[in-house]
Every structure is written in C-alpha cells, then in structure tokens.
Amino acid sequence: MNRDRDLLIEKIRSSFESSILFNGMTLRKCAALDNRIDEDDPELAEISQCYKWQEIPEDEMHLFGTHGVLNHSGEINVQFYLPPAMIYVLKHKLMGSEINGVRVH
C-alpha cells in the first residue's frame, strides 16, 4: 500500500514539476481576498508566500479549505495548487480510510 502511494506521489511530483504560479496568487494573497483584508495585514504574516508548489508547507494545507484558494487563484493556478493537495491527501487522509463505507487501499 505505501509503495503504491509513494509511486503515485512521485508521478504527481514529476508530472507537475514545472507548474508555475500565475498572477502572484500566493496562499497569503488568497487568504487576504477571502478575508477582505490587505495582504500585508499582520493576521496573515504567518502564511507563506511560496512561488513553487513544492515549497508549500504541509502545515498550511488547511488553508486550501478555509481560504478559498482554488476560488481566488483562478483556473490557471489549479495546476499549481492541485499537486500539493493531492500529495497531502495521499500522505495523510486517504490511505486506509473509508469513504462512504468503502475502504480505500
């Protein structure tokens, strides 16, 4: 099971390796838009401003659901934010769990 997961994670990494962020829509900028506050607001100081998806810290993955990252970053940035989200789910949420009564292997 871990071997399959690791192979899939490696495929994701290699497939999306060159994905870039367009329009500067960092996690911090998306959070600012979502909260209707300035990007420089101290409340957002802890949120990184990664320009490579490989640098997005795992402890900031909760922002994907709470700050409308995919809503605010636009369609063009799905290729930037989707890889870390898929990898996070594969590492932490999916394997060995049940979804609607079906066990995921």
Q: What secondary structure does DSSP assign to 69-85, as a single string? A: HHHHH-GGGHHHHHHHH
Phi first, then psi: what are they for 4, rounded to 5°?
-60, -45
* Mean of pLDDT values over 61-74: 79
* Mean of pLDDT values over 65-76: 81
DSSP element (H, E) containing 28 = helix 27-35
Q: Tens of pLDDT along 28-58?
A: 888 888 888 898 888 888 888 899 999 999 8
Q: Is the per-residue pLDDT at 17 higher than 60?
A: yes
pTM of the predicted structure, to 2 decimals? 0.77
Average pLDDT score over the chain: 84
What are the sequence ranges of the domains in the chain?
2-96
